[in-house]
Amino acid sequence: MPDQPTQPPPSPPTDNGRTFASGSLALGFLGLLCSCIPIGGFPLSLIALVFGIIAKARGQNGIATTGIILAILGLIFSIMAMFSTTHITTSYSFSI
């Protein structure tokens, strides 16, 4: 059998931050939807913001920027919901 040139093993696929960008977009959208529930929207938006920053650092601009914007909006609305919930529960005293 003649010597056949050996091929190097295939390299693993590179992601370049696309997974983080998609995750940022999805979590940012969910965080914005769940921002009326402070305990639900805040953590999702915070994770979306971190994923978006990581994706931008890896060169993904479009989807990562959208995810960051949604995450910031989700954080703002979650904080507003936290303050309004705290204000409502502490302002009114219910007595029978």
Q: Is the residue at 94 inside a domain?
A: no
Helix axes 38-57, 62-91, angle to 10 degrees: 160
Q: Is the residue at 68 inside a domain?
A: yes
Q: Is the residue at 61 inside a domain?
A: yes
Dihedral-angle region of residue 3 (phi above 0 means left; psi in -120 to 50 means alpha; beta otherwise) = beta
Domain count, the chain: 1
Mean pLDDT computed over 16-20: 81
Q: Is the residue at 3 inside a domain?
A: no
Task: For the beta carbon of residue 32, count every other beta carbon within 10 angstroms.
Answer: 23
Q: Is the residue at 56 inside a domain?
A: yes
Residue ranges making up the domain that contains 53: 18-88
Is the entire prediction scored with pTM above 0.85?
Answer: no
Mean pLDDT computed over 1-17: 73
The predicted-structure confidence for 59-89, as pLDDT tens digits, reads as follows 888 899 999 999 999 999 998 888 887 777 7
Q: Is the residue at 11 inside a domain?
A: no
Name the residue among 25, 67, 75 with its Cα closest to residue 46.
Answer: 75
Q: Is the residue at 65 inside a domain?
A: yes
Q: Is the residue at 77 inside a domain?
A: yes
- Residue where the block lists tokens 């994923």: 51
